[in-house]
Amino acid sequence: MGVITLTTDLGHRDFYQAALKGSIISQLPNVRIVDITHEIPSFDIQRAAVVLRSAYHYFPKGTVHLIGIDTVLHEGAHYTMMKFEEHYFVGADNGIFSIILGDKEAQELYEIDIMQDLRYLHFPLADILTKAACHIARGGDLSEIGQPITTPLKKVLVQPLVDANSIKGHVSYIDSFGNVISNISKELFDEVQKGRSFRLHFKRNESINRLSWHYNEVPEGEKLCLFGISNFLEIAINKGHASRLLGLQQDEFIMIEFIDA
C-alpha cells in the first residue's frame, strides 16, 4: 500500500482539499493519505519547503510527497518529479525543489509528461500531479511518465550571515504554538561556536544565553532557545506564545554573538 503526503495552501474552508483527496482515492483506492499541512500561506513556497524538510524524513522510504503550492496551469508551467534520499516529491517546478535539495543532489529528476485533462484545466493539482503521485505510489518508474532534466528551477532560502564571532539569521517559520523557528541550523551553530559561550539577541533588546534541551527546562512563562525537531534554532516560551509575547514575526532578524572566555 502506497503512502502519499499532502502539503498545500488549500486550507480547510473550501472543497479543493476534498477534491484533491477524491482524485487520489479514485485512482488508488487503497492508498494511505497523510496530511502534512494545508495551511501554507498562498503561494509561499519557502514556508512549504521549511515544513516539508522538517517532516518528510519521518515517513518510510518510498513515500510520495505531493506539493500543492502555486500549481495553477499557465504558459511556461512545468511539473516535476524528484527522487531524493529514497523519497519522492511531486509538484510544480517553481523553485521549491531546489530549496528542498539545498546543496545536495537529487537521485532522479523528471519533468512530468502527462496530458492535461481539459475538464480540470483550472486544477492541475487534482489531475496531472495526482496522476504522477499515484503512478509512483503504485511502484511505477519516473521515466515512464516523464522526461529527465538536470536541474530544477533555482530558488534558495535566505542564508545566515556568518563571521568568526557571530551568526545573523532570520525568522523562517512560526508554528501553531507560537514557537519562532530560525534559519540557523544546529550544524552551523556548532561550527561557529567552537565550544564558546553565546548570547542570542532579538527584538526589544531581549536575549538568551543558554541552550535548553526541552521546553519545560525553564519555568512557565520564561523564554528559552533550543534546537527542536526541525534541527533549526527555535525561540520559545514555556507554555506561552513566543511570537506574540516577544514581538517576533516572519523574516525578522536575530543574531547570535559568540563570546571568548
User: 34: which 3 cell numbers?
Assistant: 497523510
- The answer, yes or no, to whether residue 120 has pLDDT greater than 70, is no
Instruction: Decide if 66 contacts 7 (C-beta within 8 A).
Output: yes
Amino acid at 234: E
- Three-class secondary structure assignment of 146-174: EEECCCCCCCCCCCCEEECCEEEEEEEEE
Whole-number pLDDT of residue 145: 97
Confidence of residue 151 (pLDDT cuts 50, 70, 90): confident
- The answer, yes or no, to whether residue 197 has pLDDT greater than 80, is yes
Alpha-carbon 229 to chain mean position = 13
Instruction: Decide if 219 contacts 170 (C-beta within 8 A).
Output: no
Average predicted confidence (pLDDT) for the chain: 91
Q: Which CATH architecture has domain 3-148?
A: 3-Layer(aba) Sandwich (3.40)
Please give the Cα distance from 73 to 76 (Å, whole number). 9
Amino acid at 55: A
pLDDT in tens, 206-230: 899 999 999 999 999 999 999 988 8
Confidence of residue 140 (pLDDT cuts 50, 70, 90): very high
- Strands in 64-68's sheet, in edge-to-edge order, are 32-37, 3-8, 64-68, 87-92, 79-84, 108-112, 146-148
Whole-number pLDDT of residue 76: 66
- The answer, yes or no, to whether residue 25 has pLDDT greater than 80, is yes
Q: Dihedral of CA 142/145/151/156: which sign?
A: negative
For 248, left (φ over 0), alpha (ψ -120 to 50), or beta?
beta
Q: Where are the domains of the chain?
A: 3-148, 161-259
Instruction: Decide if 36 contacts 68 (C-beta within 8 A).
Output: no
Q: Name which CATH class applies to 161-259.
A: mainly beta
- Residue 175 has what DSSP assignment? -
Exposed/middle/buried for 216, CB within 10 Å: 0-12, 13-18, 19+? Answer: exposed
- The mean pLDDT of 158-185, rounded to a whole number, is 92
User: 172: which 3 cell numbers?
Assistant: 523562517
- The answer, yes or no, to whether residue 133 has pLDDT greater than 90, is yes
User: 123: which 3 cell numbers?
Assistant: 486544477
Confidence of residue 158 (pLDDT cuts 50, 70, 90): confident
- The answer, yes or no, to whether residue 33 has pLDDT greater than 80, is yes
- The answer, yes or no, to whether residue 196 has pLDDT greater than 70, is yes
pTM listed for this prediction: 0.85
String of b and e for 173-193 (b: at least 16 CB within 10 Å)?
bbbeebbbbbbbbeebbeebe
For the chain, the helix, strand and coil percentages under 3-state DSSP, each to the nearest 5: 25, 30, 40
